[in-house]
Amino acid sequence: MLLLQFSTSPYCRKARLALGYKHLSYTVENLTPGLHALKLQPLTGTTTVPVLLPQLAGQPKAIADSTHIFEFLDTYQPDPPLYPSDPTLRLETQILEDWFDESIGTATRFVYYDYRAKAGKQIDPSLFSQAVIQIVRRQYGINPARVKLAGDRLSQALAFLEGRWLPTSFLVGDRLTAADFTAAALLSPLALLPHYLQSYPWLFEHIAQVHDHCNTALPPGLEPPLTAQQDRQL
Ligand SMILES: N[C@@H](CCC(=O)N[C@@H](CS)C(=O)NCC(=O)O)C(=O)O
């Protein structure tokens, strides 16, 4: 399987978590923002990543949208499942996945790109990175009033997560589901923002545990420090 992605996209991280959880082997192709549409539009009719190319006889050529990728993966390899079989728990998982995808993921994007353009500029001050950040800010209409609303929405979501992740480690039922992978992936960018890192340590511990469970590399901000030996090798 081949995953077409932006290496930094949280939605692509979500797809990698699911592939890792199911122990599926895959390769990634990192697309260049701006040029990505030339490749994706003819394949899927849309321009967003992630896109999964199963490269398997009898399977679709290309699957766009992280939720459709999850549904495909559960059909292709049902064990371990991303969605519970119990209809009530399944519906709850799907509703939470959609909430994190459409509302909380967007709120994270607003807060994250606002930070990267201002106090967090030193994370990557290169012209290319700053140009991408400005394009994203314009594309999504990121302005101070909307950043404030996004921050409030994130606070609400984090209070909800604390009520579920702290006591049980699972958002739905008694095992990891698509809801956990979506929340972990879409909130990952906050690990680069000192305010969130300091105020919500339990969130990042949990995000790290989910990545560990899925054999997936940790997001920027949560990687372990280099050992002295690795440091010497670089
Ligand atoms: N609902 C989509 C959202 C994916 C999405 O927003 N991807 C962004 C990157 S984080 C993207 O591809 N943007 C480029 C574009 O819209 O052309 C999913 O779950 O896959």
Which residues does ligand 1 sit against, CB inside 6 Å? 6, 9, 11, 37, 47-50, 65-67, 101
**Backbone angles phi and psi of 229, in degrees to 5:** -65, -45
- Quote the ligand 1 centre to 66 CA distance (angstroms): 9
Contact assessment for residue 83 and residue 94, using Cβ atoms and an 8 Å cutoff? yes
Cβ neighbours of 147 (radius 10 Å): 19
Which of 49, 106, 182, 188 is the best mutation target for the ligand 1 pocket, counting ligand atoms within 8 Å of the beta carbon and taking the most?
Answer: 49
| Rounded to 5°, angle at Cα 89 from 84 and 94 | 80
Tell me whether strands 51-53 and 2-5 are parallel, antiparallel or unpaired: antiparallel
- Contacts of 104 by beta carbon, 8 Å cutoff, 6+ apart: 153, 154, 157, 183, 186, 187
How far apart CA 87 and CA 83 sit, in angstroms, is 10
Each residue's pLDDT expressed in tens, for the chain with a length of 234 residues: 999 999 999 999 999 999 999 999 999 999 998 899 999 999 999 999 999 999 999 999 999 999 999 999 999 999 999 999 999 999 999 999 999 999 999 999 999 999 999 999 999 999 988 998 999 999 999 999 999 999 999 999 999 999 999 999 999 999 999 999 999 999 999 999 999 999 999 999 999 999 999 999 999 999 876 566 655 555
At the top level of CATH, the class of 87-213 is mainly alpha
Question: Which mutation among 6, 7, 11, 116 tests ligand 1's pocket best, with the greatest number of atoms within 8 A of CB?
Answer: 11
Domain 2-76 CATH (choose: 3.40.30.10, 3.90.1150.10, 3.10.180.10, 3.30.1330.80) = 3.40.30.10
- Return the closest-CA partner of residue 85 out of 163, 181, 172, 167: 172
Ligand 1 atom nearest residue 8's Cα = 10
In the chain, where the domains are located: 2-76, 87-213
- Measuring CA to CA, which residue among 164, 179, 174 is closest to residue 70? 179
Ligand 1, atom 13: closest residue by C-alpha? 48
| Dist. CA 230 → ligand 1 center (Å) | 34
Amino acid at 17: L
In ligand 1, the atom with minimum distance to the C-alpha of 33 is: 14
Q: How far is the CA of 132 from the centre of ligand 1 (A)?
A: 14
Distance 167 CA to ligand 1 centre (A): 32
pTM above 0.85, yes or no: yes
* 24 CA to centre of ligand 1 in angstroms: 23
DSSP-derived secondary structure for 33-45 = TTTHHHHHHHHHS
Ligand 1 centroid to 188 CA: how many Å? Answer: 16
pLDDT at 194: 96
Query: Whose alpha carbon is nearest atom 18 of ligand 1?
Result: 65
User: In sequence order, what are the beta bridge partners of 63?
Assistant: 52
Q: Which residue has a Cα nearest atom 15 of ligand 1?
A: 48
Alpha helix segments (H runs only) across 64-199: 66-76, 87-99, 105-117, 127-140, 144-168, 178-187, 194-199
